[in-house]
Amino acid sequence: MRKFALLLAALFLMASGCVISPRRTVNGSGGGGSNSEFSLSANPTSQSVSAGAAATFTISVQAVNGFTGTVTLSASSASSTVAASFDNTTITGGSGSAVLTVSTTSTTPTGNVAITVTASDTANNVSQNVSVTTSVQAAASTASALVPAPGCVNSPAGSGMQRVSLPFTPEAHGFTATFDATPSAAMDASLGFFSPTPGPHPPLSQYIHFNPAGFMQAVNGDALVPSNFSYTAGQTYHFRLTENLPAATYSVFVTPPSATEIPLGTDLQVPIDQRGATTLNGWGLQMNGLLVNGPDLATLSVCNFDLR
């Protein structure tokens, strides 16, 4: 009788269209889904770079549903003249980030190049893909003309350092840079430049600091200049920065919304880690953190960067 009852139950399940099967893993792609054990993202998703230079992206892995496994990162380029590499190809513990460096050559054609990043959890046969785009521009032979870097660079909280290659090499006497910066909240953030140094990831020489107390400050050597210039979340400030490369000095001026330009610091010493540099090869920004009670999605946005 018991066997007969079990047989009837099995026939009922089959007739109802129900199938009992073991748990399986899913090999998916994209920005994360309901079957994924982790999500994958890139910041920024696109950058401009001169042929022969390199751009960097922050690739982040975020655990989903308590995932604590190991994720392996790999990248493939759509162009044979563009190489992609990571500073770290393994993310352990379910969450973490790595820096993706996209390197071009002097013969790389102008245009957009797609880089596909794959994050794989081989233990569970799960993977995620995300794409970033490098916009390759022709290398300029002179700095006599104004060459704008298109678009904006956004640095959300926790995104780390954002690097952007200069559209050309500054002339030996120095340069003037202008740009607009918009902080969406009170934050601990820095703006500055990169000088050519050995290794793929030179440090950011901090020139302008957004103080968590709500003040802007310039840097003099290795110290922040005291300032009572406050900034307001959501407002855009225009900056003009001039640097004398041979003298290793610079001045920075800021124009608040609907106001006149005022000096944030003049004839200051360049940051210590840039002392002795005869040129620069990039600019960048870094979000170190937020004020207490700052929103999780706070962002420092820099737009309209020009160099002459």
CATH, residue 204: 2.60.120.200
Band the pLDDT of 240: cuts 50, 70, 90. very high
- pLDDT reading at 211 higher than 50: yes
φ and ψ of 26, to 5 deg = -125, 130
Final residue belonging to a domain, choices 91, 121, 139: 139
Q: Say if residue 47 is in the same domain as residue 133.
A: yes
Element of type H or E holding 65? none
| Coil, strand or helix at 207 | strand
Mean pLDDT of the residues in the chain: 78
User: In this predicted structure, what is the pLDDT of residue 159?
Assistant: 65
Q: Cα-flanking dihedrals φ and ψ of residue 274, to 5°?
A: -110, 0
**pTM score of the predicted model:** 0.52
Q: Which domain covers residue 277, as residue numbers?
A: 142-308
Q: How confident is the model at residue 115 (pLDDT cuts 50, 70, 90)?
A: very high
For 120, the token pair is 């794989």
Query: Is residue 3 within a helix (H) or strand (E), and if so which, with residue range?
Result: helix 2-15
Token pair, residue 161, equals 């350092």
Instruction: Evaluate whether residue 9 is within a structural domain.
Output: no
- Please name the residue that has the structure tokens 């929103």: 295
Q: Is residue 109 part of a domain?
A: yes
Q: How many domains does the chain have?
A: 2
Report if residue 19 sits inside a domain.
no
> Quick check: is 152 in a domain?
yes
| 16 falls within a domain | no
> Could you tell me if residue 20 is inside a domain?
no
> 41 or 33: which carries more pLDDT confidence?
41
Alpha-carbon distance 138 to 141, whole Å? 9
| 125 in the same domain as 146 | no
Q: What is the mean pLDDT of residues 64-79?
A: 91
pLDDT over 90 (residue 131): yes
| Boundary residue ending a domain (123, 139, 155) | 139
Rounded CA separation 161/287 (Å): 7
Last residue of a domain, one of 139, 154, 173: 139
Residue 71 pairs in a beta bridge with 91
Between residues 80 and 158, which one has the greater pLDDT? 80
| Whether residues 156 and 286 fall in one domain | yes
**Domain shared by 80 and 169, yes or no:** no
Task: Please check whether residues 82 and 151 belong to one and the same domain.
Answer: no
Q: Which of 172, 180, 181 is nearest to 278 (CA)?
A: 172
- Calculate ∠ Cα 52-288-120, nearest 5°: 65
Amino acid occupying residue 112: N
d(CA 107, CA 110): 9
* pLDDT 10s digits, 88-111: 899 999 899 888 888 888 788 888
**pLDDT exceeds cutoff 90 at 264:** yes
Q: What is the pLDDT of residue 255?
A: 94
Q: What is the pLDDT of residue 32?
A: 36
Residues 272-292 as b or e (16 or more Cβ within 10 Å = b): ebbeebeebbbbbbbbeebbe
Highest mean pLDDT among 100-109, 140-149, 203-212: 203-212
Helix (H, G, I), strand (E, B) or coil at 298: coil
64 and 153 assigned to the same domain: no
Q: What DSSP element (H or E) covers 2?
A: helix 2-15
Are residue 185 and residue 276 in the same domain, yes or no? yes
What is the phi-psi region of residue 190: left when phi exceeds 0, alpha when psi lies from -120 to 50, beta otherwise? beta
Measured CA to CA, the distance from residue 194 to residue 269 in angstroms comes to: 16
For residue 220, give every residue at least 6 positions away whose Cβ sits within 8 Å of its Cβ, in sequence order, or none. 265, 268, 269
Structure tokens at 285: 């920004």
Q: For 80-89, how does the pLDDT look when each residue is reduced to its tens digit (9 = 90+)?
A: 989 999 888 9
Give tens-digit pLDDT for 273-307.
787 777 887 888 887 754 444 444 578 888 888 88
Is 176 in a helix, a strand, or coil? Answer: strand
pLDDT of residue 256: 93
Residue 199: pLDDT band with limits 50, 70, 90: low
Bridge partners, residue 286, by sequence: 161, 190
Predicted local distance difference test score (pLDDT) of residue 201: 56
Pairing between strand 46-50 and 126-137?
A: parallel
